[in-house]
Amino acid sequence: MILRPFDPWKSQLCTCPAKLSLNPYTGCPHGCLYCYASSYIPRFAQCRPKADLLRRLARESSRIRPGTLVALSNSSDPYPPQEDDLQLSRGCLQILKERGLFAQVVTKSHLVARDAELLSEMKACVAITITSLSESICRRLEPGAPTPARRLDAMTKLSERGIAVSARIDPIIPGINDAEIEQLASAVSGAGARHITSSTFKARPKAIKKIISAFPQEGPTLESLFARGNKVAGSCYLPEEMRRDLMERVKDSARREGVTFSTCREGWARVPGISCDGSHLLFAVDNLEHNL
């Protein structure tokens, strides 16, 4: 099946609303050191298009109730470099539009701005991940991903077309990007984001080794911090007090910028009217103050 219910590990920590997941590609070329999907998808760095994707999606989507939310993508990026030529994600969006389905795009790529006109013509929202404003940090942390400046520019272009844009400031990794929290919130808000989703780094064994290798000075402190936390669903969490403090900083920054805020897989209850993934923006909630 191309369309599957989004249910990550059947985890109680996930507070996402009901939606379907659609991954036009298998694998991702961004090479993010913190990526969870690379730990269980073989040859993840080799991004491959799904076979016979558009025909299969057209068939499956015809059986889905209009108004259903479909997320592109939850375990790979829907806008890898080859999308520029293949235009498979664009084709998926066109099918979803024709079927009256809602779309949520989650990406680190500026290429999504190419489809701004199409996205503006359908019920769609876009979440763009920005973990740091420093190109130096991003080159080490997300070596294959577009620069932060390109991602911010894509946010601006999308929001100027009236598309609901949110920012994923995640993961927050102590000693690497936590000092930028306030600046990140200001930058994404200035680029048109109306919601911020954030989370702390959930360390899987391979991922933490990669990060310590890329950031050796921060390595000993990170190892000590995760040793004091607890393990959930195969991932090591930071100590709860530290996680709460970091998320409070993001929340306070979001409030100052006048945008909504939520956490991802931290184990805390959702705020009424706010979707952790930012999909509440699809429903034109313009008066945000009572949710902040």
Reported as a single tens digit per residue, the pLDDT across 13-41 is 677 788 999 999 999 999 999 998 887 77
Q: Give the pLDDT confidence score for residue 131 in this predicted structure.
A: 98
pTM of the predicted model, to two decimals?
0.93
Q: 151 lies in a domain? A: yes
Select the highest-mean-pLDDT range: 5-19, 45-59, 273-287.
45-59
Give 285's pLDDT tier (boundaries 50, 70, 90): very low
> Is 248 inside any structural domain?
yes
Least confident of 55-69, 90-104, 110-124, 276-290: 276-290
Kindly state whether residue 22 falls inside one of the protein's structural domains. yes
More confident residue, 8 or 119: 119
The 3-state secondary structure of 47-84, one letter per residue: CEECCCHHHHHHHHHCCCCCCCEEEECCCCCCCCCCHH
More confident residue, 284 or 290: 284
Please give the mean pLDDT across all residues of the chain: 92
CA angle, 263 then 268 then 270, to 5°? 70
Task: Flag whether 230 is in a domain.
Answer: no
As a whole-number percent, the residues of the chain with pLDDT over 90 amount to 82
Residue 291 φ then ψ, to 5°: -100, -5
pLDDT of residue 292: 36
Question: What average pLDDT does range 122-140 have in this prediction?
Answer: 98
pLDDT digits (tens, 9 = 90+) for 235-255: 999 999 999 999 999 999 999
Q: Is residue 231 part of a domain?
A: no
Contacts of 244 by beta carbon, 8 Å cutoff, 6+ apart: none
Share of the chain above pLDDT 70, in %: 95
Question: Could you list the residue range(s) of the whole structural domain that residue 199 is in?
Answer: 4-203+240-291
pLDDT number for residue 10: 63
267: pLDDT strictly greater than 90: no
In a domain, 38, yes or no: yes
Residue 219 lies in a domain: no
* Confidence at residue 8, expressed as pLDDT on a 0 to 100 scale: 59
* 50 alpha carbon, distance to own chain's centre: 21
How far is residue 167 CA from its own chain's centroid? 8
Here the CATH number for the domain that contains residue 177 is 3.20.20.70
Q: What is the pLDDT of residue 249?
A: 98
CA–CA gap between residue 259 and residue 163 (Å, rounded): 15
What's the pLDDT tens digit per position in 181-221? 999 999 999 999 999 999 999 999 999 999 999 999 999 99
Residue matched to tokens 């009256």: 100
Domain count, the chain: 1
Residue 235, in any domain of the structure: no
Q: Categorise residue 184: left if φ over 0, alpha if ψ from -120 to 50, beta otherwise.
A: alpha
For the cut 70, the answer to whether the pLDDT of residue 284 exceeds it is no
What pLDDT sits at residue 290?
34
